[in-house]
Structure 1
Amino acid sequence: MLFEVIALSPEDARFAARHGADRIEFVATIEEGGLTPSWAFIEETAAACAIPIHVMIRPHSRSFVYSESDMEQMISDMAGLKQAGANAFVLGALTPGRTVDEEKLKRLLDAADGLPVTFHRAFDEAQDLEAAFETLARYAQIRTILTSGGKPSALDAADMIARLVRMSRGTGIEIMAGSGLTPATVAEFAQATGVRAVHFGSGVRRGGAQTAPIDAERLAAVRTAIGGINPAAQ
């Protein structure tokens, strides 16, 4: 079971790595849902952190519909962040009609220059999640879809996430559940849905607050909970 943790700073990333995270999603401005972090932060983190660093590519929080100037900024950021040590990118783009914007997605995948890509929770704003999945499954570079099943909390979308997990089998895409999971709920949720990757932000921070320090006890509790899941039972 893959355990991904949001980091807001190099210190966050190092702490999460020491206390059980398998992978980092590095973002800035979590209060706006996560925006592109600084190249310097990624360079510092890559030099000191042994686990993979997946970096958010999102220029603003207004929407997931991007202008040409947005695209130019995203592509420029990807080049700099790859040089700084990013192992993968976290991105997404939608049309005004809330379908996957394939024209912009192809350009972003080209800019990723061979690095793997997670399609982020823009997915949850798509008009039809199953149709969006089928579109994304055509792109081998997309290795992960981060989703709460179209709901604010993944806990309220177990049926949809289970359907997406079934759809993903044999495609090369991992469905990663995030939003609303807690150390107390993650094991039962994973058993019910079959997900083999989970994503935590506020759920592993002190008091469940978005910008609070990461809590070693909460990290350990998630690691213990998912460590007891039997993949054969999923």
Structure 2
Amino acid sequence: MTISTSPSDALEVITLSVEDGLAAEAGGATRLEVVRDIRADGLTPDVRVVEALLERVGIPLRVMIRPRNTFLVGDDTHRDEIADDAALFADLPVDVVTGYVRAAADGSAEIDEAALALVAERVPRARITVHRAIERISGDPTAALRRCPAVDRVLSGGGAGAWASRAGALVRLQAAIVPVRVIVGGGVSMEGIDVLAPCSSLRELHVGRLARTGESYGAPVDARIVATLRDRWLSRGR
């Protein structure tokens, strides 16, 4: 079956290696999220892996900037690590993925705009995806996102619960943050794809374990599985 895609349709696949990237591209992925340690929600990858992917694949890369397995910036040393990691990719033709939360004055959680600005400063040509930290904040993220013009994507799985309620949350988030785009991602299952795909405002899907043989973190990306995911996401309700 041939799928006719809109320029705004996307299938982003988490990539740990050149082999993952080649398989994802062969299966029809439109973008790669390059990380290290998928079990830790993705950490900053080795710059040599990113450089090798740029030489071997023809689809865009978004590179994780996350030196520690946490969504909280703990201290100035941690902040320096974030800045140093971001600077590694300043001269490469890639976009980036990051996102942290902090405690607000009233005790609620909000986007750490200082950490976001730090990454934008170190990689000034890159567009930014705000990672799943968005799910850990208490209020409306719209104003904070708009104060960082480099942000053009937000990755979210819509929180917890049944996929129908998560789909509703994602549609509402997308309506609130336009023109920033929602990337649907975070524990997405085949059932989730079937529920989410007909939502016309949700155009971008992000998969990690689901694109791997046996849905195992330890297995490589499988081009045939990626092709199945692409067809399922792009054909239902489009």
| TM-score over 0.5 (shorter chain) | yes
Q: Distance in 2 between matches of 1:13 and 1:19?
A: 10
**Shift in Å at residue 181 of structure 1?**
2.0
- RMSD of equivalent CA atoms: 2.0
> Hey, what does 1:157 align to over in structure 2?
166
> Hey, what does 1:38 align to over in structure 2?
46
Q: Distance in 1 between matches of 2:99 and 2:38?
A: 17
**How do residues 1-234 of structure 1 correspond to structure 2 at under 5 angstroms?**
1-83=9-91, 85-96=92-103, 97-128=108-139, 131-151=140-160, 157-168=166-177, 171-183=178-190, 185-192=192-199, 194-230=201-237
Q: Distance in 2 between matches of 1:6 and 1:197?
A: 13
**Shift in Å at residue 133 of structure 1?**
3.1
TM-superposition CA deviations, 1:162-200 (whole Å, max 9, x none): 1012223xx320111112323454143121373111100
Secondary structure at the counterpart of residue 81 of structure 1: coil
> Structure 1: which amino acid aligns with 2:156?
T
Q: TM-score, normalised by structure 2?
A: 0.87
> Structure 2: which amino acid aligns with 1:148?
G
CA gap of 1:153–1:28, structure 2 versus 1, over 3 A, is farther
Q: Distance in 1 between matches of 2:163 and 2:85?
A: 30
Q: Distance in 2 between matches of 1:152 and 1:115?
A: 34
Q: Distance in 1 between matches of 2:211 and 2:174?
A: 24
Which of 48-57 and 181-190 deviates more? 181-190
> Structure 2: which amino acid aligns with 1:64?
L
**Shift in Å at residue 98 of structure 1?**
1.6
Which of 194-203 and 208-217 deviates more? 208-217
TM-superposition CA deviations, 1:67-101 (whole Å, max 9, x none): 21122122222222233x35101001211342011
CA gap of 1:229–1:99, structure 2 versus 1, over 3 A, is same
Q: TM-score, normalised by structure 1?
A: 0.88
| Unmatched segments (≥5 aa) in structure 1 | none
Higher helix share: 1
**Shift in Å at residue 117 of structure 1?**
0.4
Q: Distance in 1 between matches of 2:14 and 2:75?
A: 27
**Shift in Å at residue 153 of structure 1?**
7.9
| Unmatched segments (≥5 aa) in structure 2 | 1-8
Report if aligned partners of 1:204, 1:219 keep a CA contact under 8 Å in 2: yes
Q: Distance in 2 between matches of 1:153 and 1:63?
A: 24
> Structure 2: which amino acid aligns with 1:151?
A
Q: Distance in 1 between matches of 2:39 and 2:188?
A: 18
> Structure 2: which amino acid aligns with 1:199?
H
Tell which has more relative contact order, 1 or 2 (C-alpha 8 A, sep 6+).
Answer: 2
Equivalent pairs counted in the alignment come to 226
> Structure 1: which amino acid aligns with 2:133?
A
CA gap of 1:93–1:86, structure 2 versus 1, over 3 A, is farther
Which of 69-78 and 201-210 deviates more? 69-78
